[in-house]
Amino acid sequence: MRALQFSEYGSPEVLTWGDAPLPHAGPGEIRITVRAASVNPIDWKILSGAMSGGQRLAGTGYLGSDAAGVVDEVGEGVSGVSVGDEVFGRGQNTQAEGAVLNAWAVKPSSIDWAVAAAAGVTGETSERGLRLLDVKSGETIFIDGGAGGVGAVGVQMAVARGARVIASSSEANHGYLREIGAIPVLYGEGVGGRVRAAAGGQVDAVFDVAGKTPVEELVSLVSEPSQVVSIANFAAGQAGARVTGGGAESRPMEALAEVGELLAENKLVIKVQTFPFERAAEAYRISQDGHVRGKLVLIP
């Protein structure tokens, strides 16, 4: 099979699309023939070497944390899914023709491969954030960074829970935020005041998916600092906010099942821009620029 790969840390130019060993599904895993795999910011962070702790790259590096495709191998202890099923989910090294998933859900037949691929990391992360914040019907949540991958899915999952959602973006994305059910505010200096004006006071919860606003400003929007959850500002804990990176807080199978239902009911719509794998570097550069609307997806 072929996979996106690199033999030295660097910018997207070091990526190549070439031969790689086909992985196998271990216990509790499935393997898919990949039809689409999304680009997440973690991919270019890994590629740059920023996540390596200063270590040199050992061997070949592979990338990708989610994908959609057709099951072609089922690992030990896995039930409820068979070879030939169409699924989407989370895994490792998914930017390849074949990839192993460790959490998945059935792909709704009405949903494009690229959209399903875009729902893995974003859906799991949004479900986790909204659950940690215990977002309920009638509450008001502020999502800082609402037009990107996680943000746009988080907005729609919060709306589906019956919450009133205020979300930040650049001016250019305000129409998009309205389309997906949020009240838009401009990010950057003074964002706290704009959120208060839109909410008519404080909000019940803040989901920080951008990590750009000073955490003290976000904490001032809620009655308890712990009602701020960040996925992108790892220093946010210093102000009493909660930081989540997944791990034990993650319930990926439940999250993906919910995401599958929302996709099937058109309550979750993900805007995607697709690229053939040969042009992955282009998609990585756009992601790195930090102003993605929706998701970037690679197609074999």
Ligand X SMILES: NC(=O)c1ccc[n+]([C@@H]2O[C@H](COP(=O)([O-])OP(=O)(O)OC[C@H]3O[C@@H](n4cnc5c(N)ncnc54)[C@H](OP(=O)(O)O)[C@@H]3O)[C@@H](O)[C@H]2O)c1
Q: Does 187 bind ligand X (CB under 6 A)?
A: yes
Q: Give the residue with the Cβ less far from ligand X, 28 or 246.
A: 246
Q: Determine contact, residues 64/92, Cβ cutoff 8 Å.
A: yes
> Binders of ligand X among 80-139, rule CB under 6 A?
121, 125
**Stretch of 23-31, 70-78, 135-143, 290-298 lying at the interface with ligand X (CB under 6 A):** 290-298
**Stretch of 38-46, 70-78, 93-101, 255-263 lying at the interface with ligand X (CB under 6 A):** 38-46
* Nearest-approach distance from CB 107 to ligand X, in angstroms: 20
* Nearest-approach distance from CB 152 to ligand X, in angstroms: 8
- Taking CB under 6 A as the criterion, the residue among 63, 68, 221, 231 binding ligand X is 231
Q: Does 275 bind ligand X (CB under 6 A)?
A: no
CA count, 13 A, side-chain hemisphere, 122: 37
Q: Does 300 bind ligand X (CB under 6 A)?
A: no
Can you tell me the distance from the alpha carbon of 5 to that of 7, in angstroms, rounded to the nearest whole number?
A: 7
H/E element holding 92? strand 86-92
Can you tell me the distance from the alpha carbon of 46 to that of 245, in angstroms, rounded to the nearest whole number?
A: 15
* Nearest-approach distance from CB 292 to ligand X, in angstroms: 4
Can you tell me the distance from the alpha carbon of 300 to that of 174, in angstroms, rounded to the nearest whole number?
A: 32
Q: What angle do CA 62, 63, 68 make, to 5 degrees?
A: 120
What string of DSSP letters covers 192-219?
A: HHHHHHHHTS--SEEEESS--S-HHHHH
Q: Does 38 bind ligand X (CB under 6 A)?
A: no
From the list 101, 5, 100, the residue with the least C-alpha distance to 47 is 5
- DSSP-derived pairing of the beta strands 242-243 and 228-230: parallel
Q: Give the residue with the Cβ less far from ligand X, 7 or 170.
A: 170
> Binders of ligand X among 147-176, rule CB under 6 A?
147-151, 168-170, 173
User: Would you tell me which residues interact with ligand X (CB under 6 A)?
Assistant: 40-42, 121, 125, 144-145, 147-151, 168-170, 173, 187-188, 209-213, 231-232, 244-246, 287, 290-293
